[in-house]
Chain A
Amino acid sequence: MRVCLLALLFACGGEEPLKVDPNDAEPVQEVGPSSALDDQAYEFCHRAGADAASAKAYCDLLKNLPEDRCPGLRDTCAGAEPLVPGGCNLETGAGARSSQLGGAPVAPTAQQKIQNSCDMPDTAGGGALSLMRWVMAIVVALLLLVFIRFIMRHFATKAQSIEPDAGTRAPTVEEEEQLPDVPNLPSADLLTAARTSLEQGDFGEAVLLARGAALRSLGKRGVLRIHRAKTDREYVGSVRKTLEVHTDLREIVASVEVHRWGGQPIDRDLAQSALAAAERLLKAGLMALFFVGIDAANAQETRHGPNGDAALYDVLEDWGHTPRWRLRGLTSLDEETDVLVLDTTFISLEDEHWEAVRDWVEAGGVLWLAGDSDDVFPELGELTQRPGAGHTQLTADFESSLRWGGFAQGVEEVWTPLNGTVWVAYVSDDADEAPRAVIQSIFVGSGVVFATSDPRILWNGSFVHPDNEAFVGDALFRAQSTLGWPRTSPFNVELATSSGSSDNTPPKALAKSHLLPFLIQMMATWGLVGLWLGRPFGPLRDPPGEGRLAFTEHINALATHWMRLGATRHALAAYAGLWLTKLGPRGLRMAARKSGMQPGPADEFVQHLEDVVADPTAPDDDTDLSRVETLWKIISGQ
C-alpha cells in the first residue's frame, strides 16, 4: 500500500498525469461526499506535527505547491513540534490514521473516537455537556423516584384505607352486581317465572324469583344498589324513605326469610302476597320511568359528566355530527364551525363576544342558543315569568311565531313531560292545553338562530327520554331541510355549554376544563426529556464562523489529499458538486463574477464544473487542481 501511495504521489508530481481507473482505484471507490467531512486529510495538511514520521516523506511535494498550501505539513517538514492538544496519542490517533494516506480517507471508528482525545474537537465543551447530562440524569431519576413514591403511597393508602360499610357507602357504578341467586333475566321475565312456579305449586321458588324480580327492577331503576355483601334486610332498609317500595319489599323479604333461612314451607297465600308485592314494584318502576318517576327518575335527572353537557356531546356524535368543545374565546369563530351551541346560563359573555357571535351568525353560522339572549337577538322576543306557574312565558306578540313548524307530529310528542316536570315552557295560560316548546328559529343575516327558552334541554336531564334525544338530531337535521340552513351534514358542532369552555383566555379555559395540570405535566415531561437529550446544550445547527472556515479548510485539505492521490478529477467533481448543490449553477456564476471573473469565463468555468460533476469518472486533467483552487478562491472570496 505504501509503495502504491508513493507511486501515486510521484506520478502526480510528474509530467504525465496519473491515469487512475476509478473502478479499480481504492481511493476513488471509497471517497465520497461523506468522507469529505473526515478530518484526516485536514490534520495531515493543516496540523503541524500530525504523523510527523510519515509526513516528512511527502515534504518534496511542497515544492510544487503554492506557499499557502498545507501549512501544517510545511511546519511538520520544518521540524515543528506537534500543536495538537496535550495528552493525545498521535501514534494511535490522528497520526496513526495519517499513515493510511495510501488508502482512501476512512472515517474513524467510534472506538477510535473514544480512545483518542485528539479527535474531540472541544474537550471542555464536551465535558460540560457530559456533566450537564449527568446532572440532568440525576435530577430526572430523583423526580421519577419521588413520583413513584407518591404514586405508591397514594395507591397504598387507597388500598389500605378503610372502606365504608357496604350498606352505607355511596354507590358506585363499578360495584353494581348481579344477583347471584336468580337467573340472569330481566325482572319481568323473573316475575313470569315466579308466576309459573306459583301455578306449579312451588311456592318457595316463586317467592325467591319474586324477590329477584323486585330487587333487579329496583336496582335497574337506581332505587337500590345490588351488592354481594348486602343482606335482604339491608335492601329493605335502604328504601325505607319510600313507603310503598319499603312495604312491598319488606313483605317479599319476610316470605323469603321464612323459606330460605327458616326452612319452613311457604303456603300459597304467602307466595301470592309476595308476588303481588313484586308486581306492584315492577309496575311502579314502569310508571316512574314513563310518567311519575320516583327515585329512579330523580336519579336520571342527575347530570353526569362535565356539567351534564357530555350527554349532548354524545347525542350529537351519535347523530353523525362532529362535536367538539369550544375551548377558545368566542371572538374567533370562523367558518370551521357550522353550529355553535351556547348555554347562556353557564357562559357569561362580554359585549364584544356577543358582537362576534352575531357577526358570525350573520355571516352564515347557525347558533343554537339556550337561555336568555334578548339583548343581542331581540328578534327572538322577550321571555317573562308566568306568575305562580314557575314556567316561562312569551309575550303575546311573539306567541304566534313560536309554534315550531319543523315538527309536524306536534311538539307534545317530543316534549314528553318527565317526572312531573315539563322540560319546556307553556305558551298558553290554559292548563288543559298541551305543553309546547318555547322554541324559536329565526334568520339573522345569512345564518340562523335556533333558540330554546329552557337551557335544561342541553343537559342530560332532557336526554333521558328517547324522544328528547331524538329532538337533538331533528333540531339540526330537520331545520336544515325545512328552513334550508346553508349547511351540509354532518355539522361541525362546537359546544360552549359549560363554565369549563369558552373562556376569554386559553389558560383559564384550560384550567376550567381541568386540562391545565395535564398540560403542565406534559410540558414538564417534554422539558425533562429535552434536558436529558441535551437539546438546550447541544451543538447549534449553524456552526459559528470559525467552524465554517474550518470546514472549508477541511475540504481544501481533502482536495489536496486527493490531488496527491492523483484523483484530481474526482476531487474536482466532489468539490464542485458540493458547491453546485449548495449554490446552484446560477449562484456559482454570480459568485465567480463577484470574485472578479468576467461573465464569459465565469459561465465557461461553471459549465466546465457541471460537466465534471456530470461525468466524475472521466480521466484526470491538468486543469483539475487549478479549477479546484479557483473554485476555492471563489467560494472563500479571495
Chain B
Amino acid sequence: MTFKAVTDEIGRVLLGQDDVVHGVLVSLFCGGHVLLEGPPGIGKTLLARTLSKVLGVAFKRIQFTPDLMPSDVTGGNVFNQAEDDFVFRPGPVFTQVLLGDEINRAPAKTQAALLEAMGDFQVTVDGVTRRLPSPFFVLATQNPIESEGTYPLPEAQLDRFMMKLVIGHPTHDTEVALLRNYMGGFDAAKLGEVSLRTVLDAEGIAVMQEVARRVRVDEEILDYIAGVVGRTRMHNAVDLGASPRASIALLLASQVIAASEGRTFVVPDDVKRLAAPVLRHRFLLQPDAELEGTRADDVVRQVLADVPVPGGERSK
C-alpha cells in the first residue's frame, strides 16, 4: 500500500514514467542506487527532487563537471582560524537522496569518490570514516548521446548501481497531459509550490526494507537467479559477465517486487521482470557484438528465453 502511495504521489508530478518510478522505489527499498540514462529534459532531476519531497528526506544535488574534485563530493577538512584547528566540512554526499547529475562528466577520480559512499554508506576523509545518514540513495544521471568531454563510468562504479533505468521520451498523450499541467500553473522549478504529500519517512523506508527482506524465496528461485546471472557469463556476445553482486541485487529486487504486490513469496516473474534493469549495466559486451548492434537488453532477453524457469522438477 505504501509503495503504491509513493508511486501515485510522484506520478502527480512526473507523468508517464511509472516504470522508472517503480524501479527507483524498488532500488530505494533494496538499499541500492540507480543510474538513470536518458536524454536531457525528460524529468530526471524532477524525479529526484519529487522523490525526496515525497519521502520526506534530505536531498542534495551535485552537478558533475570536468573540474569537480573528490573533496567537492565528500567534503574536506578546512582550517578554522578561530579554533586553530582543522574542521571537517561535509560535502553534498552527506544527505539521504543525492542526485548526481551527469555523473559521467566528471573524471574518474571524482567518480571514484562515490565508491565508498555507495558501497559502504560511509566516507573516509583524512583517515577519518564518517557514516552517511540513512537511508542513503544515489540517483545518478548520464546522457547517452554526448561522448565528447565525458568519462564513462568504470565497471566498479557501475556495479555499485543496483539498477540502470532507461528513461525515454513521453508518449504523445503524456506530453499533452504534461502541457496541460503547465497550462494549469505547474512549474518544475517551483516544486515547493506543489502540494506534494510526504507519504513516507526515513523510518518508514527502513521498515519497508526490513519487510522486503522477510519475503520468502524458494530454493528454486535462488537457483533460477544464479542461472540467469551465470548465463550472462557464458553468452557468446559477452566479454565479462555479471558479478555475484548482480545476483544479490536481483534477489533483493525480487523480494521488494513481491512485497510491493502484497505477496510473501517471490515468483519467477519477479526475477524476469527486473532482470534487465539489474543486469544491463553489469556485463561487458564483446566489441564485435557491439559493432553488430547487439545491446545489453538483447542479451538479457536471450538469457531469459534460454534459462528454464523453475517448474518444480520432481524426482518421480
Contacts and interface: CB of A to CB of B under 8 A. Distances in A.
- Report, as a range, how many residues of chain A touch the other chain: 20 to 34
A228 B294 CA distance: 24
A262 B272 contact: no
B304 A166 contact: yes
Contacts, number: 68
A106 to B, nearest CB: 64
A162 B311 contact: no
A263 interface: yes
A233 B307 CA distance: 16
- 4 closest A-B pairs by CB: A166-B305, A181-B311, A262-B265, A162-B298
Q: Which of B221, B236, B266, B302 has the most chain A CB atoms inside 10 A of its CB?
A: B302
Interface residues of B, number: 31
B312 A263 contact: no
A166 B307 CA distance: 11
28 contacts: A160-B289, A160-B294, A162-B298, A162-B302, A165-B301, A165-B305, A166-B304, A179-B311, A181-B311, A183-B316, A228-B308, A229-B304, A229-B306, A229-B307, A230-B309, A231-B268, A231-B269, A231-B272, A231-B309, A233-B269, A260-B218, A260-B312, A261-B216, A261-B266, A261-B268, A262-B216, A262-B263, A262-B264
A229 B295 CA distance: 21
Given A261-B216, A262-B263, 17 more contacts: A157-B292, A160-B289, A160-B294, A162-B295, A162-B298, A163-B301, A163-B302, A165-B304, A165-B305, A180-B311, A183-B316, A208-B312, A231-B268, A231-B269, A233-B267, A261-B267, A263-B218
Contacts of B307: 229
A213 to B, nearest CB: 15
B190 interface: no
Nearest to B289: A160
A216 to B, nearest CB: 13
A181 B289 CA distance: 36
B291 to A, nearest CB: 11
Which secondary structure dominates chain A's binding surface?
loop
B102 to A, nearest CB: 30
Nearest to B316: A183
Given A160-B236, A181-B314, A263-B218, A229 B308 contact: yes
Interface of A: 157, 160, 162-166, 179-181, 183, 208, 228-234, 257, 260-263
B294 A162 contact: yes
A70 to B, nearest CB: 77
A163 B306 CA distance: 10
Contacts of B236: 160
Contacts of A233: 267, 269
B268 A180 contact: no
Contacts of A232: 267
A392 to B, nearest CB: 47
Interface string B215-231: 01010010000000000
Nearest to A159: B236
Nearest to A177: B308
Nearest to B264: A262
A295 B309 CA distance: 26
Nearest to A262: B265
Interface in B207-243: 216, 218, 221, 236-237
Contact of A231 (B263, B267, B301): B267
B304 A160 contact: no
B267 A257 contact: yes
Given A160-B237, A181-B311, A181-B312, A229 B218 contact: no
Interface string B98-112: 000000000000000
A229 B267 CA distance: 13
B216 A164 contact: no
B193 interface: no
Contacts of B311: 179-181, 228
A232 B314 CA distance: 17
